[in-house]
A and B are shown apart, each in its own frame.
Chain A
């Protein structure tokens, strides 16, 4: 999949008038009429309150959910038509609390997708070392540890390394830094920012923290009650007149870390 996308020039991800409702009960829509294009290399932040549908939108990309109406295209192909397993192996996924496998070592966690893809051992080991260094963990010290022997920040670093293992062109991140203390969070945000630029990944990132959105985004997509109500690059976002934008802007003034 990655070899195919290196030459891929269009939008990596496209939402065409997508709606999603649970158990096909119309009227109870979690997402209504969402359209969005994510070109290669962009970092799109899905911003919104709890329950605004941002995680649902994210899960529609890797076919954890399928749209009730409309289409989600990944690399030009509808998620309904993808083999979900193949699709997901080409999309990195990072969640809050990392979701690391507690019975696997750090190295085994990072090597998950390579092992599913039957990489040979030498290649996997080299890749694990490379990734741990990339996320700032010394392989000699950390490779053999279990997740419970790590701090929250370290676990999240391993989560990022695991998502990058097979070099997927797309990275989905669901409040990855949400459970961290403010200092560690700021550290990881800074490092992540640099890393994302360097690797040229296309990233869709969910958060409810406007500060985080302004820092990481190339574009901010604001959701309210399942609808996309604003799309703007960070420097224009705060100028928008929409009520929900103003509400989020007001949260900035209530002090640092208030949105956590």
Chain B
């Protein structure tokens, strides 16, 4: 399976279509990541304050992660409101996958803050909420971001499977390519997806290093 001249001309001919699918793909990933962030980061904060919820939350997130992705998309099809065919069901599945890396890193980052710093914060009369937002969170930010980075790369890959339930995106080419036994078609989906993952990984890595304290 070599990317020869034929593949290149295929790319050029279909560039508008590929670009459109790439943008669809990015949209799918962005929406899913934002939703996962809004769930996982506050949940991480909560389980640091209330250890009773910790095992349950991380356990549930773990379970989602162990379900094979194609199966998860499949499971969602018959479920009303959140499931079905199309973008919405795909987003739900992607959010479920992205939860664990973000939640785990949020928890690890927030709970890994130097105990002496936390003791000082408490003794200075900071409220638990102030300690969370002004001490724990900024000190955990680079670790949380590492989780976001993992989740983003993961989501970009898994989002290709969303095409199986009609969510669009770069997976459309891959599934079509598999069906038609066309390397060119498969690569038209796989290469942009790989590039997206590399680009996201690079820039989030940059941001992560900039936010690292001490």
Q: A148 to chain B: which residues have CB within 8 Å?
A: 214
A155 to B214, CA, bound (A): 14
**Closest 9 CB pairs between A and B?**
A99-B120, A88-B125, A89-B125, A93-B123, A99-B116, A102-B214, A103-B213, A85-B125, A103-B138
B124 at the interface (CB under 8 A from A): yes
CA A116 to CA B122, docked complex, whole Å: 12
Task: Assess whether B117 is in contact with A99, with CB atoms less than 8 Å apart.
Answer: yes
Q: List 6 A-B contacts (CB under 8 A).
A: A85-B125, A88-B125, A97-B116, A103-B213, A112-B126, A146-B214
B119 at interface (Cβ–Cβ under 8 A)?
yes
Give the contacting residue for A88; candidates B114, B124, B139; CB below 8 A: B124
A138: min CB distance to chain B, Å: 23
* CB contact between B119 and one of A99, A102, A113, A162 (< 8 Å): that residue: A99
Indicate if B127 sits at the interface (CB-CB under 8 A).
yes
What 1/0 flags go to A77-89 for Cβ under 8 Å of B? 0000000111111
Q: Which of A95, A103, A162 has the most CB of B within 10 A?
A: A103
Q: Within B89-116, which residues are at the interface with A (CB < 8 Å)?
A: 114, 116
CB neighbours (8 Å) of B125 from chain A are 84-89, 113, 116
Q: Count chain B residues whose beta carbon lies closer than 8 angstroms to a beta carbon of A.
A: 18
User: Contacts of B121 on A, CB cut-off 8 Å?
Assistant: 99, 101
Q: Are A100 and B117 in contact (CB under 8 A)?
A: yes
Instruction: Tell me if B124 and A102 are in contact (CB < 8 A).
Output: no
B113 to chain A, nearest CB (A): 9
- Cβ of B120 and Cβ of A116 under 8 Å apart? no
**Are A93 and B213 in touch, CB under 8 angstroms?**
no
B9 contact set on A, CB distance < 8 A: none
Partner of B135, one of A62, A93, A101: A101
Give complex CA distance A95, B139 in Å.
Answer: 20
Measured in the bound complex, the distance between the Cα atoms of B130 and A98 in whole Å is 19
Please name the residue on chain B nearest to A97 by beta carbon: B116
Q: Which of B120, B135, B213, B214 has the most chain A CB within a 10 Å cutoff? A: B120
Is A2 located at the chain interface by the 8 A CB criterion?
Answer: no
Kindly report which residue of chain B lies nearest to residue A117, judged by CB atoms: B125
Instruction: For B139, give its contact among A87, A98, A102 (CB under 8 Å).
Output: A102
Query: Which residues of chain B are within 8 angstroms of A64 by Cβ–Cβ distance?
Result: 119, 122-123
Interface membership of chain A positions 99-125, coded 1 if the CB is closer than 8 angstroms to chain B and 0 otherwise = 111110000000011001000000000
User: Which B residues form the contact surface with A (CB < 8 A)?
Assistant: 114, 116-117, 119-127, 130, 135, 138-139, 213-214
The one of B122, B123, B127, B139 in contact with A103, judged by C-beta atoms closer than 8 angstroms, is B139
Residues in A neighbouring B117, C-beta threshold 8 A: 99-102
Smallest CB separation, B137 vs chain A (Å): 10
Assembly CA distance A225 to B211 (angstroms)? 45
Most buried by A among B119, B124, B213: B124
- Report Cα–Cα, A62/B130, bound state, in Å: 18
CB distance from A207 to the nearest CB of B (A): 17
Q: How far is the CA of A99 from the CA of B117 in the complex (A)?
A: 4
Q: With A97-B116, A102-B213, A148-B214 as known contacts, state yes or no: A89 contacts B138, CB within 8 Å.
A: no
Tell which of A96, A103, A116 touches B124, judged by Cβ atoms closer than 8 Å: A116
Task: Report the minimal beta-carbon distance from B144 to chain A, rounded to whole angstroms.
Answer: 14
Choose one: B120, B135, B138; the contact of A95 (CB below 8 Å). Answer: B120
Nearest chain-A residue to B213 (Cβ)? A103
A93 partner residues in chain B, CB cutoff 8 A: 120, 123-124
A204 to B116, alpha carbons, bound, how many Å?
A: 19
Contact indicator B126/A95 (Cβ below 8 Å): no
Chain A residues near B122 (CB, 8 Å)?
64, 88
Give chain B nearest CB distance to A104 CB in angstroms.
Answer: 9
Q: Are A95 and B124 in contact (CB under 8 A)?
A: no
In Å, the complex CA distance between A112 and B122 comes to 12
* Chain A residue contacts of B213, Cβ below 8 A: 102-103
Interchain CA distance A113-B120 in the complex, whole Å = 11
Cα distance, A103 to B121, chains bound together (Å): 13
Contacts of A101 in B (CB 8 A): 117, 120-121, 135
Inter-chain CA distance A148–B213, complex, in Å, is 10
Other A-B contacts than A88-B124, A148-B214, 10 sampled, CB-CB below 8 A, are A88-B122, A89-B125, A95-B123, A97-B116, A99-B116, A102-B213, A102-B214, A116-B124, A116-B130, A146-B214
